[in-house]
Chains A and B, each alone.
Chain A
Amino acid sequence: MLEIRDIRTSYGKIAALKGVSLDIREGGLTCLLGPNGAGKTTLIWTIAGILRAQSGSVCMDGQELCGLKPHNIVGNGVVTVPENRLVFPEMTVRDNLIAGAFSRRNDKTGIQSDLDDVFDRFPRLRERAAQEAGTLSGGEQQMLAVGRALMARPKVLLLDEPSTGLAPIIVQEIFEIIGQLRDEGRTIFLVEQNANMALEYADHFYLLEQGNVTFGGRPGEVDHDELIQRAYLGARKAS
């Protein structure tokens, strides 16, 4: 679905991504794991067009997305749920959701029916539809961020660390939502630090370390514990 090839992105002189290649497969949950500072969020922002890659390509169904403006990338169906639940705190929940449909703003009836779908999926958002988003709890804001992304009718959903800063019980709930989205056949790219949780749901996963992809495979194919220990702690199992 989305082919990422040899992406290089830098902040000034510091290279954050040193030639990242990976595939996000259609109708599955692809997960990217890695420790803090590995470049996971940088990769999401590069795919979303907010950061410019020095070189490389992001290709969706034969169309090059690299170099497009962020709103055109959303218009092409690649939609991000950013880290830290970036909602519009002073706008109502309903307006937050409608804002997510900006790329197809002329489709009034479609927006209304999608709004109903999101409210059916997240009944708590319906209850709070007229409330300012800044007054929601962290978990509810994360639901709102996911709902807003769904309003753009994504072909690919990019989720950036949805579990950050949430209580364990809420994290469980968020992952159940992600699992549900995957079961509906949606294409999801999940970036996570919470490796154990993510691997429960992933169809494929990659490991990103210091700007390089160091592993790609299916959960269950390898001994995760060793891989993850190596990536996160830098420790190697004695064998």
Chain B
Amino acid sequence: MVDFVQNILDGISVGSAYSLLALGFTLIFGAMGRLNIAYGPSIMIGVFAGASLSQDVTGSLILVFGATLFGTLVATLYVERLSFAAVKTDAVLASMVSTFAIWMQFDEIIAHLFPLRTYAFHGWDVATVIEIGPFVIRHSILLNLVIVFAVVVGLRFFLYKSYFGLALRAVTDNRQSAIVSGVNVARIVLIAFILAGTIGAIAGFVIAMGDGQVTLKFGLWATLKGLIAMIIGGLGSLRGAVVGGLVLGIIEAQAQWYLGASLREVIVYALLFLSLVILPNGLLGAKQHVHRV
């Protein structure tokens, strides 16, 4: 029982980062109705920018985060211009396939610029722990939770209290209606990408600090985890993205503890498959509205 609870605590820590990745995917999916699978690799550009700064120049976490954010945003906007703004709105497949092409570009760029493949990413000292009874809570868990909570609260505030948030919800709900309502859809989509990029940079920064290193596989890893968390939680639902991320993190931690690391991924993909079969709309997926007469 102690192990089980401890696994949940560990799972929440990792899962909160998955939640952020899923949130970014959901924002873009909502605004565009299509997936941006280059999202993870875009974040990878950012964390490598952060890693090179933290290795060679400065230990200042604010500057390292700044570099991570800058790199992620540049990559995210590059994807937005090439795969979304430049592709016709009805060519859903074309834009998804082109994000795949950009993913390959990003992988190659990083492989050329960073030939060692694994780079240290210095974070804050998280060796200290809080012990409550038999449970061990690393400070980094609390920190991750605070960060995710802050992002979710900030995002909700933006979406429900600002005019651009209202417009983003409008574009997400029905693009055609948004156009006839006079919403500048192109600008709102750009805002959605900037938001997703910022959230992705925060996620990448937290993850890289937690791992203490970044590798070439970061892009693939981030896209997979974010997508799986989004699908488990429910396509298009922000609340679902948060829940999906936490559920994924907890199940991973339990599977790793009881079944071992090698079976962990098997369990995760089985879970993904199950959730697609049993709950195709995810745990908190968008309701299907019937066209009423």
- A and B from one complex: yes
Q: In the complex, what residue of chain B is closest to A134 when comparing beta carbons? A: B289
Is A230 in contact with chain B by the CB < 8 A criterion?
no
B177 touches A75 (CB 8 A): no
User: A86 to chain B: which residues have CB within 8 Å?
Assistant: 174, 176-177, 180
With A95-B166, A138-B293 known as contacts, the answer to whether A82 contacts B182 (CB < 8 A) is no
Is B174 touching A87 in the complex (CB atoms < 8 A)? yes
Among the listed B170, B286, B292, which residue makes an inter-chain contact with A88, where contact means beta carbons less than 8 Å apart? B170
Chain A residue with the shortest CB-CB distance to B172? A90
Across the interface, which residues of A come within 8 angstroms of B181, CB to CB?
Answer: 74, 99-100, 102, 148, 152
Chain B: CB-nearest residue to A137: B292
* Assembled-state Cα–Cα distance A138/B293 (Å): 4
Binary contact readout B126-170 vs A (1 if CB under 8 angstroms, 0 otherwise): 000000000000000000000000000000000000010011011
Chain A: interface residue total (CB-CB under 8 A): 35
Chain A residues with CB under 8 A of B287: 90, 134
Kindly state the separation between the CA atoms of A167 and B178 in the bound complex, as whole angstroms: 27
Residues of A13-36 whose CB lies within 8 A of B: none
Residue of A nearest to B185 (CB): A71
Which of B163, B173, B179 is the one whose CB lies under 8 Å from A50? B179
A14 to B159, CA, bound (A): 41
Given A89-B289, A90-B289, A141-B292: A102 and B182 interface contact (C-beta under 8 Å) = yes
Docked-complex contact A75 and B289, CB < 8 angstroms: no
- On whether A102 and B183 interact (CB within 8 A), knowing A82-B177, A90-B173, A95-B169, the answer reads yes
**B173's contact among A88, A102, A137, by CB below 8 Å, is which?**
A88
Specify which chain A residues have a CB less than 8 angstroms from the CB of B185 in the assembled complex. Answer: 71
Complex CA gap A165/B293 in Å reads 6
- Minimum CB–CB distance from B179 to chain A (whole Å) comes to 5
On chain B, the residues within 8 Å of A90 by CB distance are 173, 286-287, 289
- Most chain B CB within 10 A, of A70, A99, A152, A165, is at A99
Chain B residues with CB under 8 A of A70 = 179-180, 182
Chain A residues, CB < 8 A from B173: 88-91
Please classify how large the interface on chain B is, using the bins under 10, 10 to 19, 20 to 34, 35 or more.
Answer: 20 to 34
B175 to chain A, nearest CB (A): 10
Tell whether B58 is near chain A: CB-to-CB under 8 Å. no
Complex Cα distance A81/B170, Å? Answer: 16
Chain B residues, CB < 8 A from A152: 181-182
Q: What are the residues of chain A within 8 A of B182 when measuring CB–CB?
A: 70-71, 74-75, 79, 100, 102-103, 152
The answer for the CA separation of A61 and B183 in the assembled complex, in Å, is 23
- Chain B residues, Cβ within 8 Å of A148: 181
User: Counting CB contacts under 8 A, is B184 at the interface?
Assistant: yes
Residue of B nearest to A49 (CB): B179
- Cα distance, A95 to B184, chains bound together (Å): 17
* Complexed CA–CA distance, A88 and B170 (Å): 6
Does residue A227 face the partner (Cβ distance < 8 Å to B)? no
Identify the interface centre among A88, A136, A166: most chain B CB within 10 Å of its CB.
Answer: A88
Residues of A within 8 A of B183 (CB): 71, 99, 102
Instruction: Please tell me if the beta carbons of A99 and B167 are within 8 angstroms of each other in the complex.
Output: yes
Shortest CB distance B189–A (Å):
13
Q: A156-193: contact bitstring with B at CB < 8 Å (1 yes, 0 no)? A: 00000000011100000000000000000000000000
* A4 at the binding interface (Cβ < 8 Å): no
**Are A82 and B174 also in contact (CB < 8 A) when A138-B293, A166-B293 are?**
no
User: Interface on B for A, CB 8 Å cutoff?
Assistant: 163, 166-167, 169-170, 173-174, 176-185, 286-287, 289, 291-293
Instruction: List the 10 closest pairs (A to B, CB-CB), nearest first.
Output: A74-B182, A103-B182, A88-B173, A86-B177, A134-B289, A71-B184, A99-B170, A138-B293, A89-B289, A105-B163
Q: List 25 A-B contacts (CB under 8 A).
A: A70-B182, A71-B182, A71-B183, A71-B184, A74-B181, A75-B182, A79-B180, A79-B182, A81-B180, A82-B177, A86-B180, A88-B169, A88-B177, A90-B286, A90-B289, A91-B169, A95-B169, A99-B170, A99-B178, A102-B183, A102-B184, A103-B182, A141-B292, A148-B181, A166-B293
6 additional contacts (CB under 8 A) given A74-B180, A87-B174:
A70-B180, A91-B173, A95-B170, A99-B166, A102-B170, A134-B289
